[in-house]
Amino acid sequence: MSGPLVPVTEAPDFLRPLVEASAKVDSTTFTRITVPPRTDARRASVLMLFGEKTDGPDVLLLRRADTLGSHAGQVAFPGGGAEDGEGPVATALREAEEETGVEPAGVRPVAVFPELYVPVSKFAVTPVLAHWHSPSPVRPVDPAETAAVARVPISELADPANRFSVRLRSSGWRGPAFTVRGLFVWGFTAGLLSTLLDLGGWAEEWDRDDVRELDVALAEHEARVAGRTDVTGERR
């Protein structure tokens, strides 16, 4: 069940709009795809972990290894499938620790958002919003699963220069995308981020008519970052 996990007044100021929104939104706020009734969907969670530096809030993202069988090379929130008897918050924290080395003791879950369905992998994903009150060092714990980890400033995600839409030629699917800190973000994660920017009051006007073919945009991005072997979250 979605909604706040803490009183809104106990959340940091910059996260309060999102905590409040968690009690009001449903899955249609994020996607037109609903979890099918009588489905074999597997339960999963992602950790939307927000910290704060002197220049404003940021969010933890990772890039999946290129060798993975599912969503290879894509940028994502830490997360994964639930284990037997495990709730959404426990899943999100465990997966974040396994993938990025985040220390759960420094993380305070503050809200849970509605379950969202990802048809490609048949996951029913629960987004867990958390405050990173005591940040710990992060890294790709297992390079076979995680290629890179980065703390991405919200101001850079909201920057209109870093936003556009992508389209799949085969299906006509269209969705938001970002290029920031050497990362190309699209698909499920970009959709979540775009909605969070709106709900959190961080979004700026951007060119929604800038629609690029996904394969072309990805190839151009990879060409620009060729020879760059790490993504640390530090500007180069």
Neighbours of 193 (CB within 10 A): 25
Higher pLDDT, 63 or 68: 63
- The model's pLDDT over 84-127, given as tens digits with 9 standing for 90+, comes to 999 999 999 999 999 999 999 999 999 999 999 888 778 899 99
Return the CATH fold of 3-224: Nucleoside Triphosphate Pyrophosphohydrolase (3.90.79)
Asked if 47 contacts 92 with a C-beta cutoff of 8 angstroms, the reply is: yes
User: pLDDT value at position 70?
Assistant: 59
The yes-or-no verdict on residue 235 having pLDDT over 50 is no
What is the residue-averaged pLDDT of the chain? 91
User: pLDDT value at position 224?
Assistant: 87
- Using CA atoms, how far apart are residues 117 and 61, in angstroms rounded to an integer? 20
Asked if 63 contacts 146 with a C-beta cutoff of 8 angstroms, the reply is: yes
- Using CA atoms, how far apart are residues 84 and 6, in angstroms rounded to an integer? 25
Q: Encoding tokens for residue 134? A: 């005591």
Minimal CA–CA distance to 176: which of 156, 201, 193? 193
- Using CA atoms, how far apart are residues 74 and 184, in angstroms rounded to an integer? 8
**pTM of the entire predicted model:** 0.91
The yes-or-no verdict on residue 73 having pLDDT over 50 is yes
Minimal CA–CA distance to 186: which of 126, 234, 194, 2? 194
User: pLDDT value at position 69?
Assistant: 55
Asked if 225 contacts 182 with a C-beta cutoff of 8 angstroms, the reply is: yes
- Using CA atoms, how far apart are residues 110 and 4, in angstroms rounded to an integer? 6
The three-class DSSP label of residue 112 is: strand
Higher pLDDT, 224 or 10: 10
- The model's pLDDT over 140-181, given as tens digits with 9 standing for 90+, comes to 999 888 999 999 999 999 999 999 999 998 888 899 999 999
